[in-house]
Structure 1
Amino acid sequence: MTDLKLPQLPDRTPVKLTISVSPDLHQALNDYAALYEQAYGTSEPATELIPAMLTAFLKSDRAFVRAQRG
């Protein structure tokens, strides 16, 4: 075994989730996608933005981050 600085990569196989959201949340997500397009000049459907939004939310939740550390 070699001592590589880069550890073995974790499993990156996507996991598909199916959720139901309220009509208000659906509209808000579509509104966000429209603002994203205005800001960055590229159109992304809300379904593509949601994983990044969830990741950002979890990283910003200090209590969750502390709990994850143990």
Structure 2
Amino acid sequence: MADIKLPQLPDRTPVKLTISVMPDLHQALTDYAALYARAYGRDEPLADLIPAMLTAFLDSDRGFSRSRAKP
């Protein structure tokens, strides 16, 4: 094994999830996508926005972050 600084990259294989949402949540997500398009000048599909939204939410949840850091 070579002695290099960069560690082996983690598994980056996407995991596909299928979910059902209530109509009001779907509308809110659609509205968010429209706001995103106005803010950044490009349309992004909900399937691309939702993972980014979930990541941002989890990253901002301090209680969740603390609980994951505990052994």
TM-score range relative to shorter protein:
over 0.9
Provide the C-alpha distance between the structure 1 equivalents of 2:3 and 2:63, rounded to a whole number of angstroms. Answer: 34
1:33 CA drift (Å): 0.4
Moved over 4 A (4+): none
**Structure 2 gap ranges (5+):** none
Identity of aligned residues (%): 74
Any residues of structure 2 matched to 1:1-20 within 5 Å, and which?
1-20=1-20
Any residues of structure 2 matched to 1:1-70 within 5 Å, and which?
1-70=1-70
SS at match of 1:7: coil
TM, length-normalised to structure 1? 0.94
Provide the C-alpha distance between the structure 2 equivalents of 1:29 and 1:2, rounded to a whole number of angstroms. Answer: 47
**Structure 1 gap ranges (5+):** none
Mean alpha-carbon deviation: is it higher for 1-10 or for 19-28? 1-10
Provide the C-alpha distance between the structure 2 equivalents of 1:5 and 1:27, rounded to a whole number of angstroms. Answer: 47
1:51 CA drift (Å): 0.2
1:3 CA drift (Å): 2.7
Mean alpha-carbon deviation: is it higher for 33-42 or for 3-12? 3-12
1:7 CA drift (Å): 1.1
How many residues in Structure 1 have an aligned counterpart in Structure 2?
Answer: 70
Aligned-pair Cα RMSD in Å: 0.8
TM, length-normalised to structure 2? 0.92
